[in-house]
Amino acid sequence: MNTEKKSTIKRKKIITAAAAVFSQKGFHQAKMDEIATKAQVAKGTLYYNFSSKSLLFSATVTEGMETIISQVREELVSDLPFSDHFRLLVSTMVRLHIKHNDLTLICFNEISSGIDDGVLEEIRKVRTRFIDFIAELLTVGQAKGYIKDIDVQLAAVALAGIIDSVCSHILLNPRKTSRKKAVDTLHEILSSGFLKA
């Protein structure tokens, strides 16, 4: 038991370090050396726990995204009337998106960059997993009669994209754009679109 725990702790240290480095540098620019140093572990230990860089990346992303999804789920449990609930959804997603910027960056931007095909597939699954989760939320909204009768899958993709884009913009231009204003605008657009009634 002790031994197993010890190794579990090391595994976590590695994943945490990996998440930080991967998100900061991107897959190809992240070096196993740096991850090992940051995790306070010898390089060999990385390979003892994950058989390749790609697999470490895969594990990092997958586990991280699971965490985010469960956090969103937790925070959305509420008894607010729907109009407030939709606003909460938007602001929660923005907050968590920014908080876990490392992972979302990886998950939404590093899709193309020439990683092992097998691993790429894994990353896509994670992304799909996230989209499905959003679609699920939208379906609930439709069932309750608040959300329009549109293709939830596509709508989820659109929602993820719009939030990712706006959050990245906030992080890149923190002076020009306040988070509150961003949430307001997002909420406005997502509620009733661009056009005047």
Residues at the interface with DNA (CB under 7 A): 2-4, 6-7, 10, 29-33, 41-49, 51-54
Which position among 10, 86, 129, 133 is part of the footprint of a copy of itself (CB under 8 A)?
Answer: 86
Q: How far is the CB of 139 from a copy of itself (least distance, A)?
A: 12
Say whether residue 51 binds a copy of itself (CB under 8 A): no
Question: Do the Cβ atoms of 104 and 23 come closer than 8 Å?
Answer: no
Radius of gyration, alpha carbons of the chain:
19
DSSP 110: T
Q: Sign of torsion, CA 90 129 67 117? A: negative
Residue found by looking up tokens 């959300």 in the block: 147
Q: How far is the CB of 140 from DNA (least distance, A)?
A: 41
DSSP 11: H
Which position among 109, 118, 140, 174 is part of the footprint of a copy of itself (CB under 8 A)?
Answer: 109
Distance of CA 118 to the CA centre of its chain: 20
Q: How far is the CB of 154 from a copy of itself (least distance, A)?
A: 5
Say whether residue 1 binds a copy of itself (CB under 8 A): no
Q: Which does 94 bind (CB under 5 to 8 A by kind): DNA, a copy of itself, none?
A: none
Say whether residue 30 binds a copy of itself (CB under 8 A): yes
Residue found by looking up tokens 């596509």 in the block: 154
Closest C-alpha among 84, 189, 193 to residue 146: 84
Instruction: Give the containing element (helix H, strand E) for 187.
Output: helix 179-192
Q: Give the interface with a copy of itself as residue ranges (CB under 8 A).
A: 23-30, 86, 105, 108-114, 124, 138, 141, 145-148, 150-151, 153-155, 157-166, 168-169, 172, 176-177, 181-182, 185-186, 188-196
